[in-house]
Structure 1
Amino acid sequence: MKRAQKGFTLIELMIVVAIIGILAAIAIPQYQDYTAKSQVAAGLAEISPAKTAYELAINDGSTLAANALSDLGIKSTDRCTVTSAAYTPGTTTLPINGALVCDLNGNPNVAGADINLNRLADGSWACVITGAPASWKDSYTPTGCTKS
């Protein structure tokens, strides 16, 4: 009578380890790209709500101090250091470049890049990415933004 095999052979274990290694080699870079892209989108989402408050200040003729984040209803986070440009009625000329800026932190592929929301003279807003590191990929740029 034959004895039944118990456990796995060495070659079977080596094949499983090789398959896991191949999958990891593909999955890890894809995950890092996904993380970088999501951090850029989150940075844009953190400063976008302040457009309304900034626009209200311009339309009401109110003065906004530089980095008056509490007046705009936003704050810096561990992923995004937020700054805002000053606005003084009658002296600030439009367009206002860097009206709202998110300096990205975190993933090395996007860290140091700035997401700038610029208030244009016609009342619209433009999103421009500046200071992007060399590792920046075009896929990180959110829809509606341009990289300069």
Structure 2
Amino acid sequence: MRHYNKGFTLIELLIVIAIVAILATIATLLYQDYVAQSQVERAYIELATYKSAVEEHLSRGRHVMSNSELGYAPSNLTAAASGDIANFLLDGSGSLEVTLGGNASPLVSGTHISISRSTNGIWNCDIDESGAGAWKDVYMPSGCL
């Protein structure tokens, strides 16, 4: 009676390892995109929370607002684009602006997020991705141009 070895050959093991490596690489890239997208969305939402404080200040006739008056607390992802995040004119138009940095993914670090207000009180979002490392359209938060 013959006895056969029952196991995997070296070639079969190498093929399995190669397949697992390819899947791990794809998963890592998708995860990095997910992290970058969620960081941009988070920064946008954090900035949008200050719209109500701006509206309150504007309704009282105050167009100059410091970060402390708005209650702005920079997160580990954002920094004020220039001094104060709010820049408004006497007519009520202006914008809230931050730049991604700090612990932000290198894919989106340097992205400038601006939420602007028109004189009639309509808010619009604009994202300048020219400073980002490797911007992709999927990183754009919903409602932004």
Give TM-score scaled by structure 2 length: 0.81
1:14 aligns with 2:14: yes
Q: C-alpha separation between the residues in 2 aligned to 1:129 and 1:92?
A: 24
Q: C-alpha separation between the residues in 2 aligned to 1:4 and 1:10?
A: 13
Relative to structure 2, which stretch is displaced further, 19-28 or 50-59? 19-28
Letter of the 2:134 partner, please give it: S
Shift of 1:94: 4.0
C-alpha contact (below 8 Å) 2:57/2:63 kept by paired residues: yes
C-alpha contact (below 8 Å) 1:46/1:74 kept by paired residues: no
Aligned residue in 2 for 1:145: 144
Q: C-alpha separation between the residues in 2 aligned to 1:41 and 1:101?
A: 14
Q: Is there any run of 5+ residues in structure 1 with no aligned partner, and where? A: none
Aligned residue in 1 for 2:124: 126
1:50 aligns with 2:50: yes
Moved over 4 A (4+): none
What secondary structure does 1:145 align onto? coil
Aligned residue in 2 for 1:85: 86
TM-aligned CA distance change 1:131 to 1:9, over 3 Å: closer
Give TM-score scaled by structure 1 length: 0.80
Q: C-alpha separation between the residues in 2 aligned to 1:100 and 1:33?
A: 26
Aligned residue in 2 for 1:115: 113
Say what the alpha-carbon RMSD is for the aligned residues. 2.2
Of the candidates 82, 87, 99, which is equivalent to residue 103 of structure 1?
A: 99
